[in-house]
Amino acid sequence: MDLTGYSDPYVKASLMAEGRRLKKRKTSIKKNTLNPNYNEALVFDVPHESVHHVSLTIAVVDYDCIGHNEVIGLCRVGSDADGPGREHWAQMLANPRKPIEHWHTLVEV
């Protein structure tokens, strides 16, 4: 949170392959809140033959109009992720073109 006691968070999702960012998407900024709620879809078109070689890095970022935006925390989702990130990825692969919701714990950077 900033000096006002609130944050201006948004979510940035990056499609990764071999340590490189291929594509990125981000949500809208939710102003003055510590409990944002996003009802937004972030869509990546990935060829079927490439789906086992990519992963998502999902970061929650605090927008700052003065200075640098600060990463609040992040998580990874993919076949090379640990625990819930791997399970979520498996559910998405088992249900193509269907939105799969899942809660993830953020890790501090």
Give pLDDT tens digits for 15-42: 999 999 999 999 999 999 999 999 998 9
Q: What is the C-alpha separation between 3 and 48, in angstroms, rounded? A: 46
- Domains in the chain, ordered, with CATH? 9-94 (2.60.40.150)
- Judge if pTM exceeds 0.95: no
> Which of the residue ranges 1-5, 45-49, 62-66 would you say has the lowest mean pLDDT?
1-5
| Sequence-ordered list of residues with C-beta below 8 angstroms from that of 17, at least 6 positions apart, any chain | 50, 53, 54, 55
